[in-house]
Structure 1
Amino acid sequence: MFGFLELSFTQQSGSITGKLFDKSNNEPLFFANIYIEGTSIGSVTDDKGNFYIGNLKPGTYTVVFNYVGYNDEKRTIDVQEGSNSVIEDVYLEFTSLMSEEVIITGMSRGQAAAINHQKNSNKIVNVVSKEKIEELPDVNAAEAVGRLPGVSVVREGGEGSKVTLMGMAPKFNTITISGEKIPSTDGEDRSVDLSMISTEAVSGIEVFKAITPDMDGDAIGGTINVISQKASPELKGNIKIQTGYNFLRNEPGNYKAAFDAQKRFWENRLGIIIGANTEKVNRSSYKTDGDWYQNGVFPNGTPKLQVESFDVIDINKTKSRSGGSLNLDLDLKNHDIVFVTYYGNTLTDESRIRRRYRMADSYQEYDLLSNEKTQSFISSSLSGEHKIFNSVQLNWKTAYSFSLFDEPGSNSIRFREQGAFNGTSEELTYIDVVNDAKNDLSNTFFEDGRINHSAVDNNYINVSLDLKIPLN
């Protein structure tokens, strides 16, 4: 359990509170810059558009509301000794250039929110907005976050699965949903497979490249946080269906479907968002690997490179994914309670045929591998934010996360052919290697066979309490 207590002592002072909204859709503007004109005193709105400026001497103040991409607004208000002054709801208008035709899209608003988030955050953070995620053809969260500076995507079968931050391997990074850690989904290290998180289920993605004291200290590279959505007042829903054809295997069967719906009830106090997704994709591939070494020079002085080893690999891999999310938020005047849960599951079915040419030791091997593995996670949190007496802020959170890596059957078998090459070629290219092989099955024997079963599960429980009390 972690607790933070922040106290500030000022005598006979007042405060200013209020809310900031987008004029076009009445949605709150978060991370907006609010400050007293002519001073360095100010605040930043939270994710519900609320702001609080405390420790003000009695007098008349002009409050400036600034948000990138929107026109500034000003309000004048009197602050009384020892009391809180409330500014009526403020609405900012999106900036547009007037001409014969004006086109305003949600994409620019989304990026404005991301820019304001980065600008006014007290941490080093990069943000990908939901609107930007929808604009780009990224299939999962790993691909989406890979567009940010300092982030590199680790690919498996052609698709992004994990990311590196500032050159640090995925195992040195922490992945969170709404600030709560996801345990490792890998069977060998503490990395998390981001391809399990569908982009349809998130409101945005934050990348913190330098952790602060209020964050987990085990993230050497940084932290990637998936931001959960908040339901809109009106009923909204999306259904996406995609299909595809695999030209490498000459077969159809790839598909992806996603659904989400949201609405607020009870005079907009209760918000509900539900989402689900399913996907099947063929990630088969052909691969060749080889090693060369210098074996003398040609008469013209050019180095003579000779093949030392060479592999030909045929991989047949299919990934089936499913996931879901449920977001509930109760928004009262000074009390907010939020429940968030995410689920993701990936089933990988893989078979591999590999032929290994080893010219240096004059043998070749035939490998066959059959592998099936399941990766899944669930992350749930219940949190509350309470404002007491207009100035005391009490925040609490309970969270539980679970992950599973299960590999019930990883079976392999290997055969070896000794004296596998005629030795008549200099084996300068892989074609020479293939032509020089004897392929004598009568001289081929069983080398080894393996049956492996491994399973790893992780549990994470967190309880936190934050209390902020400004004393006037």
Structure 2
Amino acid sequence: MTRLTFNFIILVGIVSILCSPNTFAQSNGKIVGKVTEATSGTPLIGANVILLNTSEGASADLQGNYTISGVEPGNYQISASYLGYEEAVLEITVQANQVTVVDFALKESATELSGVTVYGQLTRGQAKALNEQKNAPNIKNVVSSEQFLLFPDRNAAETVARIPGISISYDQGEGELVQIRGLAPQYNSLTVNGQRIPAPDPDLGRAVGLDLLNQDLMENIVVTKALTPDIDGDAIGGNINFQMKQAPDEGILVVNAGGGYNAQHSYFDEYGKDIMNLSGYAGQRFFDKKLGVLFAASYYKTNRGSLLKELEYDDITMTDHIFAQHSNDYDVLRERTGFNLNTEFKFDQFNRIYVNANYNRYFDKEIRRLNEWIIDDEEETKETRNRVEDQFLTNAMFGGNHNFNGIKLDYTGSWIKAKEEMPARTYFRFQRDFDFSGYTNDEIKEFSPNTKFTQEDVLTLNRIRVDDNLKEDEDISGMFNVEIPYFLTGEKSTIKFGGKYTDKSAKYTARRL
């Protein structure tokens, strides 16, 4: 399936733009620059830059760059402010038809309250997220890794659940599917670096289980609850975009290791009781800091299990007579593996290109054993079910951000593929007659949940089934956005337009013996 869409954002009529005498004032000057954090040099996304005593100003972009066009020649005071940082004010002179470069390096601010000092360093990453959220033209929530990595969440679903308006469903004690504003998962869209994630599980339809993704590879999580025209209009509830870690401004190396032991495991303990969590990333700048490279990796392993016992009472005679007992045991092994490679090249502070690639694997192996006693039918049933669910998400993207004399251009080309393999899912069912005479209700309640077969068990094979499933979903897409500034009756405005092309293919194979 191929889909071609064009999105237009027209803020003011085109005719007025062309007829306005101030549309492109040639005698005015322009101010450009970059806003960074003084200690680390990290760009401060969304920082406010204002020409004092005028209506002119701008916000810093993802690289911390800003542009103020159409400034009349003269002397000005220009200020830069950012949440958690001290405001900086500079004296500048703007000349006709000239570009004035003004860079800011903001220092963290501290507030003393009754002897308690709060330092901005503790919220540096989250301050960027809050500024992006504050300056957004729509309703969104932005959470940085500085915040969500403080919590012992096991996957991306549990991390997203901490954001207002979001709830999740669980599978074997781990978060899986996400609801936004109460709407079912299939009515929401999930993206990685802006790429729509295809659905690898055929049983979930359009919904995507977030147990596939590991939050250790992410930099920010952006939840958009009101879609704008530059976001795909295929979601009613909203969109969740997972922004992966990007190349740093300075060299960095981080390694995290954790482990645990689950003493309260299920009865059979097929996969052990250990828990392992490893992650890390390393990044560096080369060639006078023009080329940036970052590599991140993550591995998570856990063994989960559960024991379920159900008793059915006779609902006809309405007595305490037990009609049946069901004992289920689940042993589950889960592993998540992820890699992220990001490279970018900065020609200057206004022009950059980048290439990134991500790989995620979710391995889920489950053994289920069932013992079932039907008292009135004098029948015992034993079942075993073995299932392996192996999911893969692989994607690659290239793109760029450019600023040509105030005209902004961004573009991306991407490929993403989701695959789920479920090989040799087996189901065996055995039955035999069982004499329950002489057993009391209390004795039936204490029947052992141990469903492993022994030499003394003589049962008849009643049913056997083997399933082999494969689902592949692949998307190839390209998009661009152009933003052009202009002046109408002396007021600065912008017109933005863009387009997107998507080619989608899916294949599902199912075999049953």
- Percent of paired sites with the same residue: 27
Task: Give the AA of the match of 1:109.
Answer: R
Give distance in 2, aligned partners of 1:94 and 1:354.
60
1:343 matched to 2:348:
no
Q: Report the counterpart of residue 496 of structure 2 in structure 1.
A: none
C-alpha contact (below 8 Å) 2:244/2:340 kept by paired residues: no
Task: Give the AA of the match of 2:329.
Answer: D
Deviations 1:286-341 (A, max 9, x none): 234567797799xxxxxx88877653210111112222110001112132001111
Distance 1:351-1:468 versus aligned 2 partners, 3 A rule:
same
Q: Which residue, 401, 405, 421 being the options, matches 1:385? A: 401
Q: Report the counterpart of residue 116 of structure 1 in structure 2.
A: 131
Q: Report the counterpart of residue 508 of structure 2 in structure 1.
A: none
Secondary structure of 2:202's counterpart equals coil
Alpha-carbon distance, 1:35 to partner: 3.6
C-alpha contact (below 8 Å) 1:3/1:465 kept by paired residues: no
Secondary structure of 1:284's counterpart equals strand
Q: Report the counterpart of residue 372 of structure 1 in structure 2.
A: 388
- What is the TM-score normalised by the length of structure 2? 0.79
C-alpha contact (below 8 Å) 1:352/1:370 kept by paired residues: yes
Give distance in 2, aligned partners of 1:55 and 1:418.
90
Alpha-carbon distance, 1:434 to partner: 5.9
Secondary structure of 1:467's counterpart equals strand
Q: CA RMSD in A?
A: 3.4
Q: Report the counterpart of residue 252 of structure 2 in structure 1.
A: 236
1:261 matched to 2:276:
no
What is the aligned length?
459
Q: Which residue, 109, 113, 138 being the options, matches 2:153? A: 138
Secondary structure of 1:332's counterpart equals strand
5+ unaligned residues in a row in structure 1: which ranges? 298-303
Alpha-carbon distance, 1:444 to partner: 6.5
Give distance in 1, aligned partners of 2:373 and 2:347.
69
Secondary structure of 1:46's counterpart equals coil
Alpha-carbon distance, 1:352 to partner: 0.5
Give distance in 1, aligned partners of 2:360 and 2:6.
31
Q: Report the counterpart of residue 507 of structure 2 in structure 1.
A: none
Alpha-carbon distance, 1:359 to partner: 6.8
Give distance in 2, aligned partners of 1:173 and 1:232.
31
Give distance in 2, aligned partners of 1:419 and 1:330.
73
Equivalences for residues 48-67 of structure 1 within 5 A? 48-56=63-71, 61-67=76-82
Alpha-carbon distance, 1:418 to partner: 7.1
C-alpha contact (below 8 Å) 1:197/1:344 kept by paired residues: yes
1:223 matched to 2:235:
no
Q: Report the counterpart of residue 343 of structure 2 in structure 1.
A: 328
1:456 matched to 2:471:
yes
Deviations 1:40-96 (A, max 9, x none): 654321111112234555565544423211222334545556x46434101222111
Tell me whether 35-44 or 402-411 shows the greater mean CA deviation.
Answer: 35-44
Q: Report the counterpart of residue 47 of structure 2 in structure 1.
A: 32
Deviations 1:18-47 (A, max 9, x none): 211111221110022334445665432111
1:93 matched to 2:114:
no
Task: Give the AA of the match of 1:180.
Answer: Q
Task: Give the AA of the match of 1:264.
Answer: R
C-alpha contact (below 8 Å) 2:41/2:249 kept by paired residues: no
Alpha-carbon distance, 1:443 to partner: 11
1:352 matched to 2:368:
yes
Give distance in 2, aligned partners of 1:108 and 1:226.
20
Q: Which residue, 202, 224, 227 being the options, matches 1:211? A: 227
Secondary structure of 1:234's counterpart equals coil
5+ unaligned residues in a row in structure 2: which ranges? 488-513
Q: Report the counterpart of residue 83 of structure 2 in structure 1.
A: 68
Q: Which residue, 405, 410, 422 being the options, matches 1:407? A: 422
Give distance in 2, aligned partners of 1:66 and 1:287.
58
Tell me whether 122-131 or 93-102 shows the greater mean CA deviation.
Answer: 93-102
Alpha-carbon distance, 1:170 to partner: 2.4
Q: Which residue, 272, 293, 315 being the options, matches 2:330? A: 315
Task: Give the AA of the match of 2:280.
Answer: F
Q: Report the counterpart of residue 11 of structure 1 in structure 2.
A: 23
Distance 1:442-1:271 versus aligned 2 partners, 3 A rule:
closer
C-alpha contact (below 8 Å) 2:411/2:481 kept by paired residues: yes
Alpha-carbon distance, 1:171 to partner: 2.7
Alpha-carbon distance, 1:432 to partner: 5.7
Task: Give the AA of the match of 1:215.
Answer: I
Task: Give the AA of the match of 1:66.
Answer: S
Task: Give the AA of the match of 2:416.
Answer: S
